[in-house]
Amino acid sequence: MEMVRFLVGVLLPYVALLVFVVGMAYRFWSWKKLASPPMTLFPAPPDEKANALNTLQEVVLFKSLFQGDRVLWVFAWVFHAVLLLIFVGHFRVFTNVDGLLMKLGMSKDAIQAMSSGAGGVAGVVIMLATVLLLARRMAVPRVREITGLADYLALLLIAAIILSGDMMRFGAENVDLLSDTRAYFSTLACFGNVTGAGLLRNNVFLLHMCLALMLILCIPFSKILHFGGIFFTHQLLRRH
């Protein structure tokens, strides 16, 4: 078990970060080199401002999906919106956002209550959205036909990450999601010794950490990267 703790808690974070950064840099570099097609699939906007606005609508509102499938749009938009909320919430570990909120008049107890309440609701909502998206892929024939094994595995991996996160938040094991994780990651960031970190003795956290790092490793090489590719594809297709 000590070897697992070392691999997941000490070695894998650095490997995952290195692969992610290099992989993302390569993908963006390769997209940047794509030639503009001789014919566009959409009428070109009158100027770059309209082009940027159209891309923003796709990224924030999923405009094309809304026009094509309203039911899927609801599931997908809720999933991505809550995922963004959770992603921002995790930055509380790495930043002094508490200090900013306290300057705005919030007490420590109020900040913690807001974090716990919003985090708990977000964990439940995104789990339901993930299950619905997975069920849709299996239930709708036209969607099932174009769904590959990698698509199922990606959704299952995300579901496992969410479930393990919910287990930490709602489970019986006592995990200080702020001070313990902040101390652990700040030591990692400084290349300090985290082998004795108490957090690595928590098996649920170790599982959550392992699954999240696996997802980070997969992002540059999977369809999950659509969150980055959408900026390039929409700019490319609507370019003059």
As a whole number of angstroms, the distance between CA 93 and CA 54 comes to: 34
Q: Write out pLDDT tens, residues 3-23.
A: 888 999 999 999 999 999 999
Name, of 33-42, 79-88, 93-102, 206-215, the range with top average pLDDT. Answer: 206-215
Q: What is the pTM of this model?
A: 0.82
Burial tier of 199 (Cβ tally within 10 Å: 0-12, 13-18, 19+): buried
Cα Rg of the chain, angstroms: 21
Query: Which residues are CB-contacts of 145 (< 8 A; sequence separation ≥ 6)?
Result: none
CATH 1.20.950.20 fits 2-237, yes or no: yes
Sign of torsion over alpha carbons 193, 194, 196, 197: positive
As a whole number of angstroms, the distance between CA 62 and CA 150 comes to: 23
- Tokens, residue 13: 């974070």
Q: Write out pLDDT tens, residues 117-129.
A: 888 898 899 999 9
pLDDT greater than 70 at residue 60: yes
pLDDT greater than 50 at residue 240: no
As a whole number of angstroms, the distance between CA 200 and CA 184 comes to: 9
Amino acid identity at 175: V
- The answer to whether 40 and 238 have CB atoms below 8 angstroms apart is yes
Mean pLDDT score across all residues of the chain: 81
What band does 144 get if pLDDT is binned at 50, 70 and 90?
confident
Q: Helix, strand, coil proportions of the chain in percent (round to 5)? A: 80, 0, 20
Q: Write out pLDDT tens, residues 80-114.
A: 889 888 888 888 777 777 777 788 888 878 877 88
